[in-house]
Amino acid sequence: MDPIQLWNAIKEDLRKTTSEFSFATFIDSLTPVAVVENENNTVTLQLTSNHEDVANEWQGDTSSYRESFIQSAMMATMSLNGQPTFVLPSVTYIEPQPTQLNFSSEQATTTSNETDDASALASNFITKATLNPEFRFDTFVSSDENREAYSVAQAVADNPGTQWNPLLIYGGVGLGKTHLMQSIGNAVLERSPEAKVKFITTEDFINDFTEALRRGPKATEAFKREYRSTDLLMVDDVQFLAGKEKIQEEFFNTFNAITRENNQIVLTSDKLPKEIPGLEMRLVTRFGQGYSANITKPDLPTRVAILRNKSEQENLNIPNDVIDEIAAAVDTNVRDLEGVFNQVVGKMRFSKAPITVETARAILETMSFKRQRAITVPIIQDTVATYFDVTVSDLNGKKRNKEIVVPRQIAMYLARELTQDSLPQIGRTFGGKDHTTVMHSTEKIEKQIAEDEQLQRQVGEIREKLRN
Ligand X SMILES: Nc1ncnc2c1ncn2[C@@H]1O[C@H](COP(=O)(O)OP(=O)(O)OP(=O)(O)O)[C@@H](O)[C@H]1O
φ, ψ for residue 267, nearest 5 deg: -125, 155
If one asks whether residue 233 binds ligand X (CB under 6 A), the answer comes out as no
Q: What is the CA radius of gyration of the chain?
A: 27
- What's the rounded Cα separation, in Å, for the pair 101 and 124? 6
Q: Which is nearer to ligand X, 333 or 442 (CB)?
A: 333
Residue 231 as a binder of ligand X (CB under 6 A): the answer is no
Nearest distance from C-beta of residue 150 to ligand X, angstroms: 8
Query: Residue 176, interface with ligand X (CB under 6 A)?
Result: yes
Reduced to 3 states, what is the DSSP secondary structure of residue 40? coil
Output 124 or 239, the one with its CB closest to ligand X: 239
Q: What angle do CA 283, 271, 302 make, to 5 degrees?
A: 140
Query: Could you tell me which residues come within 8 angstroms of residue 324 by beta carbon, excluding any fewer than 6 positions away?
Result: 304
Is 91 a binding residue for ligand X by CB under 6 A? The answer is yes
- Residue closer to ligand X (CB basis): 14 or 266: 266
- Does 339 bind ligand X (CB under 6 A)? Our answer is no
Cβ neighbours around 5 below 10 Å, total: 13
* 172, containing H or E segment: none
Is 176 annotated for ligand binding?
yes
Instruction: Say if CB 320 and CB 311 are below 8 A apart.
Output: no
Pattern 124-163, ligand X, x by CB under 6 A: ----------------xx----x-----------------
> Per-residue string for binding with ligand X, 247-286, x by CB under 6 A?
---------------------x-x----------------
Minimum distance, C-beta of residue 181 to ligand X, in the bound complex (Å): 8
Instruction: Write the interaction track for ligand X spanning residues 369-388; mark x where CB under 6 A is met and - where it is not.
Output: --------------------
DSSP string, 307-359: HHHHHHHTT----HHHHHHHHHH--S-HHHHHHHHHHHHHHHHHH-S---HHH
Is omega for the bond preceding 166 within 30 degrees of 0, making it cis?
Answer: yes
- DSSP string of 204-241? HHHHHHHHHHHH-HHHHHHHHHHHHT-SEEEEE-GGGG
Site string for ligand X, 62-81 (x = CB under 6 A): --------------------
Q: Is 306 in the site for ligand X (CB under 6 A)?
A: yes
Give the span between the Cα atoms of 128 and 291, in whole angstroms. 27
Rounded to the nearest 10 degrees, the angle between the axes of helix 245-260 and helix 217-228 is 50
Residue 341 makes contact with ligand X by CB under 6 A: no
Contact with ligand X (CB under 6 A): which of 33, 122, 156, 175? 175
| CB of 312 closer than 8 Å to CB of 301 | no
Please tell me whether residue 200 binds ligand X under the rule CB under 6 A: no
Q: Which stretch binds ligand X (CB under 6 A): 169-177, 225-233, 240-248, 341-349?
A: 169-177
Q: Is 130 annotated as a binding residue?
A: no
CA angle, 107 as apex, 102 and 109 as ends, to 5°?
140
Among all residues, whose Cβ is closest to ligand X? 176
Q: Of 172-180, 276-284, 316-324, 346-354, which part binds ligand X (CB under 6 A)? A: 172-180
Whether 199 and 236 have beta carbons less than 8 Å apart is answered as yes
* Using rule CB under 6 A, residue 88 touches ligand X: no
> Smallest gap, in angstroms, from Cβ of residue 49 to ligand X?
14
- 291 contact partners, CB below 8 Å, separation of at least 6: 152, 163, 164, 167, 168
Distance CA 161, CA 51 (A): 33
Considering the rule CB under 6 A, would residue 303 count as an interface residue with ligand X? Answer: no
Work out the angle between the directed axes of helices 377-388 and 453-467 (0-180°, nearest 10). 130
Q: How far is the CB of 138 from ligand X (least distance, A)?
A: 10
Q: Using CB under 6 A, pick the residue from 34, 187, 233, 334 that binds ligand X.
A: 334
The yes or no reply on residue 89 touching ligand X (CB under 6 A) is no
Nearer to ligand X among residue 141 and residue 153 (C-beta)? 141
Q: Which of 82, 89, 160, 174 binds ligand X (CB under 6 A)?
A: 174
| H helices present in 96-176, as ranges | 105-109, 114-125, 147-158
Is position 50 an interface residue for ligand X (rule: CB under 6 A)? no
Kindly state whether residue 344 participates in binding ligand X, applying the rule CB under 6 A. Answer: no
Q: How far apart are CA 272 and CA 149, in angstroms?
A: 14
Judged by CB under 6 A, the stretch of 176-184, 220-228, 399-407, 458-466 that binds ligand X is 176-184
Q: How far is the CB of 143 from ligand X (least distance, A)?
A: 7
Bind-site residues for ATP: 174, 176-178
Binding residues: 174, 176-178
Contacts to ligand X by CB under 6 A: 91, 140-141, 146, 173-179, 237, 268, 270, 306, 334-335, 338
